[in-house]
Amino acid sequence: MATFLDPVTRRRVPLNNDIILGILQDGNCSDIDFHEPDEEFNPKTSILDDDLIIKDNDGPSEAPATPSLPPGVPHPKTSVLKRKSIDMYTKANQGESSKSCSKKSKRIPAAKPQVVASKKKPPKTKLPPRKRIWKKNYYIDKQHDYPTLPEPLEIRTPTQYYSDYFTEDLYELIALCTNLYYLRKKGRVLNTTKQEIKRLIGIHLLMGILSYPRMVMYWRRNISISMISSAMTRDRLMALRTNLHVVESDSPPASDSNNPLWKVQPIIDAVREGCTKILRTPGRYSIDEQMIPFTGRCHLKQYVKTSLGLWVSKILW
């Protein structure tokens, strides 16, 4: 037997027609609107109906045996009677239920979708590339009131201008520090002088102008450069190049503990001192930078994408 859980008493109550109509609200207060009348429930006749009459002219009619139904399946005759009692109950209470329920909203028919013809975009026509037309214009200097450059007191040689920055005292310091470093590491005396340090720096300047893929090629028999090979042997240059130092100690002093360039600080000071000795007159000056390719260990280097992806160190002039 079907039961219903009463929400007030919280007990199971046998399910009857009144409870079903109360749950369904008599079928008149539904959120779904249907204008079409409900179709009448007319179950088809089956062999299970008791009213089925079998006509037999030869002998008396016998009612067929009703087959047994599985448990839980209602008898069709019983369901027809329940349907009739529900219809009678709804017709009797139709007037009362119509007053209590709100007026149903009329169903608005859905608008038919309008078929819009798709507008095809015209194909884009590729224009020919625009040709660049170069015009030749002659440069015409405008009037200006720039101050005239003072005439130099004397015209000196390039070596004399270079000596304003790399002085004799600096060469003496480099030779001394290089000898001390070689003695601490190797336990032997290198015996280098300031004249040999000058030749070492001059050879590197020539190598920057006449560049070879490898350094040993400057002393090769058929392609050697006499200005380099005659000034110093290959092994001597490699020994000086490896042990070249500008400071005496291997650890920074207390005053330069936070200076990452303490090993080359004497050269920086000498160049700055030479720059301050240049005679300056009021006028317009430009500051430029030079990028030096560098792949060693130094946190001052920068990665510049525009320079073919190189790690460089920038120097301002």
pLDDT tens track for 100-141: 444 444 455 555 556 555 667 778 888 888 888 888 888 887
| Tally of structural domains, the chain | 3
* Amino acid letter for position 17: N
58 inside domain: no
> What is the arithmetic mean of pLDDT over 82-103?
50
203 inside domain: yes
CA–CA separation, 31 and 107 (whole Å): 12
The reported pLDDT for the residue numbered 58 is 45
178 inside domain: yes
Residue 170: exposed, middle, or buried by beta-carbon count in 10 A (0-12, 13-18, 19+)?
buried
28 inside domain: yes
Length of the chain: 317
Q: Supply the range of the domain harboring residue 83.
A: 1-42+73-97
291 plus 273 within the same structural domain? no
pLDDT confidence band for 90 (50 / 70 / 90): low
The reported pLDDT for the residue numbered 91 is 55
> What is the arithmetic mean of pLDDT over 83-108?
50
3: left (phi over 0), alpha (psi -120 to 50) or beta: beta
> What is the arithmetic mean of pLDDT over 27-41?
54
130 inside domain: no
189 inside domain: yes
Using alpha carbons, select from 79, 258, 270 the residue that is nearest to residue 166. Answer: 270
Residue range 218-274, pLDDT digits in tens: 999 999 999 999 999 999 999 999 999 999 988 888 888 888 889 999 999 999 999
146 inside domain: no
Using alpha carbons, select from 226, 219, 229, 175 the residue that is nearest to residue 198. Answer: 175
* Amino acid letter for position 100: S
Mean pLDDT score of the chain = 75
167 plus 81 within the same structural domain? no
The reported pLDDT for the residue numbered 108 is 55
304 plus 229 within the same structural domain? no
HSE of 209, CA atoms in CB hemisphere, 13 A: 8
67 inside domain: no
